[in-house]
Structure 1
Amino acid sequence: MNGDWLIRGRDGRLCVYWYTEDAVLCRAERVPGGVWEAPRRVGGEQQVRPGFAVGQGPDGYGHLVAWRPTRAGESGLVHSTHFRPLLAPLDWSPVGHPNKAGQRTGDPAVAVDAEGRAYLFVRNRGKGVHTVNQKERGGWNAWHDLKGSKVGEELVALTGESGLVEVYATTPTGVLRWIQEEPGARPLAADPLAARVEPGTLSALPTSKEHTTLFYSDPEGMLHAWRPDGESIPLLPAAGPGPVSAVRCELDGHDCTLLAQRSSSGRVAFAAYPTEQESAGLWWTESGPALPAGTRVAVAEDAQGRVVAASLTPDGVLRLARQKDEPGLALAAWQEL
């Protein structure tokens, strides 16, 4: 999956998404902080392929994008909107293919602008990036080639605090970037980041109205943070493989950035520091039971402003831990849901 698979809906209820067999499943709280509903299937009986994306707009609606098999040996992208966690998402609707037709070309990414329009991004057959976005009054505009070359399969898309959409892609020489300059416009190429980036480790978090902070690991396993106005900052050795999950939260009255990752020991590791003040230093603290390889980790805030950490194993076992009413980041015991 791509994007924040643990999100809080506009009614305050948490919801998670994951892939199993031939479908995307979702599961939500019945009430904020309460028990969880049984999993339900997105899009009814329609089948989709592995590799889907989740995005969320300021209206709290979730947008999902996935590949669906079409004719023999080919696939097309489909989209669904999830208005509320306790309502079923809409049926999958076709969006098309970046090369008009063909096989799956890469994991999609989706971001939602301030007006609630979804922007879909995906690697194309030539290993550049294509995009398509929703019209203001329904339907989709035409596909557009953002260019780029030697792009990795996974993209990172998000909406900054400015309300403008951004997308990032890794290449053998660093990170390519495309940024909207005004609402409703296509993202335009921005200066790339020249860096040695381990594939599959890129993530991003809006950290102010002016900046998005990128996180990535280098081939030696060092975790870095970068913003366009400065140099790449080595933070600490990554706790484990894959991207970190990141959220801004308040800890002891301070605006902090919290990182989470499944560690090499299998436990969930956390590290926090004052937002955009990487020089303050940070370190990993592990929590919970050892989890199998391939477990996803996510962090978010619930309706009460408490940090919520979630882990999801490859076989669909969901565990949750919430912040306790104590100084610092004290989590209650992990619960299997």
Structure 2
Amino acid sequence: MNGDWLICGRDGRLSVYLPSGDAVLCRAERWPGGPWDAARRVGGEQRLHPVLAVGQGADRYAHLVSWRPTKPGESGLVHSTHFRPRLAALDWNPVGHPNKSGDRTGTPAVAVDAEGRAHLFVRNKGGGLSMLGQKEKGGWGPWRDLKGRDVQEVPAAVTGESGRVEAYAAVPDGILYWRQEEPGAVPVLQEAVEAAVRPGTLRALATSAGSTTLFFVDDTGDLCAWRPGDKPVPLLAAAGHGPVAAVRCALDGYDCTLLAQRSASGRVAFAAYPTEQETAGAWWTESGPQLPADAGVALTTDADGRVVAAALSPSTGRLFLTRRKAEPGLALEAWREV
């Protein structure tokens, strides 16, 4: 899974998305803070490959992207919009292939601009990054080759506080960064920086009016932060091997960035620091039960603005959840399986 698979919907309910066999499933709260419904299939009966990208716009709608088999040896991308967790999502809509035809080229990423238009990013057959964007009055524009070489499989897409879409991708010994120069424009390659990135660890977050921050694990095992225009800085040693989850939240009146990662011990590790102040330092605190090796971790804030953390194992379908307590610091409720 790529993106924020734990989200708070327009109606205040939390929901999670996960690939399962040849389908994507959704689980949602019956009401904000209430019990959870059983998993439901999303987007109709279309058979899918086990890959999923999720993005959410300011309107709180979820945009889902996956690959589907089309004929032997070939696949195409599909998109669905889920307006509210308790409603059925739209059927999967074919949106094509970055090279017109062929097999899967990489894991997609999706971000949604201020006007609610989804932007889909995926590596193309030539090793660059391609993008497909929704048009203002419906439908999709043409595929755009954003260039780049030897792009790794899992890019990161993010919408800045300006409402414009940005994308990051790792390449051998570096990171590439694209940004829309105006709303609705094709993102342009803006910057490249030297960095040795562990594959599959990119996570981007809007952190101020003018900046997004990319988090990644480098080849020495450090969790690093990079804002374009500067150099990457090591924040702390990674707790584990997979990607981190990140969310901005208010802790004791301060604007903080909270990070979470499945640790080497199998539990969830948390670290927080003042947003964009990496020099303040951060340290991990572990919480919750031991999780399967394939478990992912996600963060969001609920309808009351409280931090929510989820851990989900695709192989078992088991979902664990915790919320921040209504007290100072980052005290969490006991983890519970839902």
Tell me if both proteins adopt one fold, taking TM over 0.5 as the criterion. Answer: yes
What does 1:1-337 correspond to in 2, within 5 Å?
A: 1-314=1-314, 315-337=316-338
Shift of 1:231: 2.2
Q: In 1, are the aligned partners of 2:221 and 2:237 still within 8 Å (CA)? A: yes
Which AA in structure 2 matches 1:331?
L
Taking the aligned partners of 1:193 and 1:294, their CA distance within structure 2 comes to 30
The secondary structure found in structure 2 opposite 1:70 is strand
TM-score where L is the length of structure 2: 0.98
Structure 1 stretches (4+) deviating beyond 3 angstroms? Answer: none
Taking the aligned partners of 2:229 and 2:139, their CA distance within structure 1 comes to 37
Per-residue CA deviation, residues 252-288 of structure 1 (Å, 9 max, x unaligned), is 1111000000000000000000111111111000001
Q: In 1, are the aligned partners of 2:193 and 2:231 still within 8 Å (CA)? A: no
Taking the aligned partners of 2:264 and 2:278, their CA distance within structure 1 comes to 23
Per-residue CA deviation, residues 139-167 of structure 1 (Å, 9 max, x unaligned), is 11111111111000101011111100001
Which AA in structure 2 matches 1:278?
E
Shift of 1:214: 0.8
Q: Which stretches in structure 2 are left out of the alignment for 5+ residues? A: none
Aligned residues: 337
Taking the aligned partners of 2:28 and 2:239, their CA distance within structure 1 comes to 29
Taking the aligned partners of 2:279 and 2:133, their CA distance within structure 1 comes to 38
Shift of 1:10: 1.1
Taking the aligned partners of 2:91 and 2:240, their CA distance within structure 1 comes to 36
Per-residue CA deviation, residues 214-250 of structure 1 (Å, 9 max, x unaligned), is 1111111011111123221111110001111000001
Taking the aligned partners of 1:74 and 1:191, their CA distance within structure 2 comes to 33
The secondary structure found in structure 2 opposite 1:219 is coil
Which AA in structure 1 matches 2:54?
V
Q: In 1, are the aligned partners of 2:8 and 2:301 still within 8 Å (CA)? A: yes
Shift of 1:331: 0.4
Taking the aligned partners of 2:145 and 2:217, their CA distance within structure 1 comes to 28
Which AA in structure 1 matches 2:201?
T
The secondary structure found in structure 2 opposite 1:147 is coil
Q: Which stretches in structure 1 are left out of the alignment for 5+ residues? A: none
Shift of 1:202: 1.0
Shift of 1:326: 1.3
Which AA in structure 2 matches 1:218?
D
Which AA in structure 2 matches 1:328?
G
RMSD between aligned alpha carbons?
A: 0.8
Per-residue CA deviation, residues 281-322 of structure 1 (Å, 9 max, x unaligned), is 110000011111010001110001111010001321000001
